[in-house]
Amino acid sequence: MAPIVRQGRQSPMTATDRWGYPRATGPDLMSRRPTPEAAAPAPRRKLGVVLVDPLPVVRAGVALLIDERADMEVLAEAGDGLDGIEQLAKVRRSRVVVLVGLGLEGDHDASWLIRTVRERFPEHALLAMGANADPSTVSHALFVGADGYVDKNCDPTEFLVAIQKVAVREMVLLGPAAAAVGEIADGIELRRDLDLRLTGREREVLAVAAEGLTARQIATRLGVRERTVTTHLARIYGKLGVGNRLAAVRMAARSGLVTVGAND
Amino acid sequence: MILGVVRLACDALPDVEIVREVDNAPDAFEAATRIDPDIAVVDLDLADTEGADVLRGLRDRGFAGRIVAVSERVDGQAVFEAMRFGVDAYLAKPDGLRRIGEAIRRVREGERVLDPALENAAVLELGRFARQARESSEMVSSLTRREREILDLLAEGLTMKQIGRRLGISPRTVETHVAKLYRKLAVRTRVQAVAKAASLGLIELR
């Protein structure tokens, strides 16, 4: 197999990347056996990780895994998005990896957290974690700003490698998602098209319509007249080139704009 | 060369037979629609047709079978593009050809076959793709409705005066809008603005 030339990476001989973190190597990663590279001066600083996931057991497991490592540490943990941002505000580091559990729900769900981190802490890297997430969920996470996605049922060693890769802003897909690159890209493209074609208000109407509400219920929810809602819906169908609500909602769902059914 | 390898590989598989061999894109399209095989083994390095166009042609004609792609190209962009057309296996020439029999057998069972290095390259390309999509949607949301209208008219080739007349505003006002628009798109000329807008998917070039 001809070698794949990756842009922007140095030669494989270097033991650390350009931020001083040890480079991800293969199966040797977990072993504590000192290697010739390890004899070199220790990295100036450990790679900091902030962990935000609603499930305490997941947080505990990931924290254990990371603390095993000499070159990584968990700086903070949070069980919801809002607390995650508060914790991040206290972190006095410029480049950390934020692990975001896609199971976060409510007003401050995973996509809120990803967007907010992107906006407020653009230098941090974001790694989304899910369990068997479908391609549209992964599309959405990547579109809003995640640098990668890992499935929680992956191999622990690979999981740690993924953290190191996103730390240098290298895209990672771990788990079944890796085979679904095509579908994920389709979702991202669709999502971008929705953003290009629909106004913010129209996307809002579409998202509420996806819940299966009547035009009157949508109107009540958004505090507008029923007529306004039907006008919006008609314009949305026109812009998306679909004939009815079901088709529009299906499109929005494939793009990850709306979530149909539970997703973790 | 590829035909020979595929023939050998299929002979070794008890329940696989070659139903048609073609050496150009038009014949491939014809075969895909007429015969509708379960699996198409596609060489992406045909002389007359780009690999992506072969895949697009097959899918556009409704071919929904599995595709085993074979190519000299091992860069992320090529693999990513192929995956967007739903190929089930991507094998690099010449080494990957050794595994073509195995690939045919596995895609038949619904598996995907992709070397980890190729997969990694495609994933990196996906990263660029996602970032670009996000940036274009951010840029679009920063444009006002008026700026988008003017962008459309700029793309049509109208002068400032004509745009002003069309929108019922003074040419000076148009110029102000255009200046702001250029700043947001980070461009200096109309041609750059139109090219940028097209690459972002904001306007369609005809």
Q: Any bridge partners for residue B42, and if so which?
A: B69
Structure tokens at A204: 């809002």
Of B114, B118, B127, the CB nearest to A171: B127
What's the rounded mean pLDDT across residues A47-73? 94
Structure tokens at A199: 């106004």
Dist CA A218 CA A222 (whole Å): 6
Name the range with the highest mean pLDDT among A23-27, A48-52, A205-209, A222-226: A48-52
Which residues, numbered 104 to 123 in chain B, qualify as contacts with chain A under a Cβ-Cβ cut-off of 8 Å?
Answer: 112, 114-115, 117-123
User: Which chain A residues have a beta carbon less than 8 Å from that of B149?
Assistant: none
Opening angle at CA B106, ends B100 and B110, nearest 5: 135
User: What residue ranges in chain B does DSSP mark as E strands?
Assistant: 39-43, 66-71, 89-92, 113-114
The predicted pLDDT at position A241 comes to: 86
Q: How confident is the model at residue A81 (pLDDT cuts 50, 70, 90)?
A: very high
Across chain B, mean pLDDT equals 90
Do residues A142 and A255 lie in contact, with contact meaning Cβ atoms separated by under 8 Å?
A: no
Q: Does B37 touch chain A (CB under 8 A)?
A: no
Q: Does B85 touch chain A (CB under 8 A)?
A: yes
Dist CA A238 CA A137 (whole Å): 26
Q: Check whether A195 has a pLDDT greater than 90.
A: no
Q: How confident is the model at residue A179 (pLDDT cuts 50, 70, 90)?
A: confident
Q: Please give, rounded to a whole number of angstroms, the shortest distance from the CA of A245 to a CA of chain B.
A: 24
Dist CA A130 CA A100 (whole Å): 9
What's the rounded mean pLDDT across residues A26-48? 57
Q: Does A115 touch chain B (CB under 8 A)?
A: no
The predicted pLDDT at position A29 comes to: 46
pLDDT in tens, B163-172: 999 999 999 9
Q: Please give, rounded to a whole number of angstroms, the shortest distance from the CA of A89 to a CA of chain B.
A: 24
The predicted pLDDT at position A234 comes to: 92
Q: What is the DSSP string of A92-122?
A: --SSEEEEEETT--STT-HHHHHHHHHHH-T
The predicted pLDDT at position A44 comes to: 64
Q: Please give, rounded to a whole number of angstroms, the shortest distance from the CA of A190 to a CA of chain B.
A: 10
Residue B133 to residue A191, Cβ atoms within 8 A: yes
**Which helix (DSSP H) or strand (DSSP E) does residue A48 occupy?**
strand A47-52
Measure CA A116 to chain center: 12
Structure tokens at B181: 């628009």
Residue A4 to residue B137, Cβ atoms within 8 A: no
Residue A185 to residue B121, Cβ atoms within 8 A: no
Do residues B54 and B46 lie in contact, with contact meaning Cβ atoms separated by under 8 Å?
A: yes
Q: Check whether A246 has a pLDDT greater than 70.
A: yes
Residue B137 to residue A192, Cβ atoms within 8 A: yes
Q: Please give, rounded to a whole number of angstroms, the shortest distance from the CA of A179 to a CA of chain B.
A: 7
Q: What distances in angstroms separate CA A21 from CA A32, A39, A171, A264, one per listed residue? A: 16, 14, 17, 31
Dist CA B89 CA B106 (whole Å): 9
Q: Please give, rounded to a whole number of angstroms, the shortest distance from the CA of B29 to a CA of chain A.
A: 22
pTM: 0.78
Question: Half-sphere exposure of residue A95, counting CA atoms within 13 Å on the CB side?
Answer: 15
Q: How confident is the model at residue A245 (pLDDT cuts 50, 70, 90)?
A: confident
The predicted pLDDT at position B141 comes to: 82
Q: Check whether B107 has a pLDDT greater than 60.
A: yes
Q: Percent of chain B having pLDDT more than 70? A: 98
Q: Which residue has the higher pLDDT, A146 or B148?
A: A146
Across chain A, mean pLDDT equals 83
Structure tokens at A167: 């730390």
Using CA coordinates, name the residue in chain B closest to A199: B141
CB atoms within 10 A of CB A140: 26
Using CA coordinates, name the residue in chain B closest to A2: B74
The predicted pLDDT at position A23 comes to: 47
Q: Check whether B116 has a pLDDT greater than 50.
A: yes
Q: Check whether A261 has a pLDDT greater than 80.
A: no
User: Dihedrals φ, ψ of A135, to 5°?
Assistant: -55, -35
Residue B123 to residue A142, Cβ atoms within 8 A: no
Secondary structure (H, E, C), A77-90? EECCHHHHHHHHHH
Dist CA A66 CA B73 (whole Å): 38
Q: Please give, rounded to a whole number of angstroms, the shortest distance from the CA of B123 to a CA of chain A.
A: 6
What's the rounded mean pLDDT across residues A208-232? 91
Cβ–Cβ pairs < 8 A, chains A and B: 88
Segment A237-244 long-range contacts (CB within 8 Å, at least 24 positions apart) = A239/A197, A239/A198, A239/A202, A240/A194, A240/A197, A240/A198
Q: How confident is the model at residue B206 (pLDDT cuts 50, 70, 90)?
A: low
Of B75, B126, B137, the CB nearest to A181: B126
pLDDT in tens, B5-57: 888 888 888 889 999 999 899 999 999 999 999 999 999 998 888 999 999 99
Strand B39-43 to A72-78 pairing: unpaired
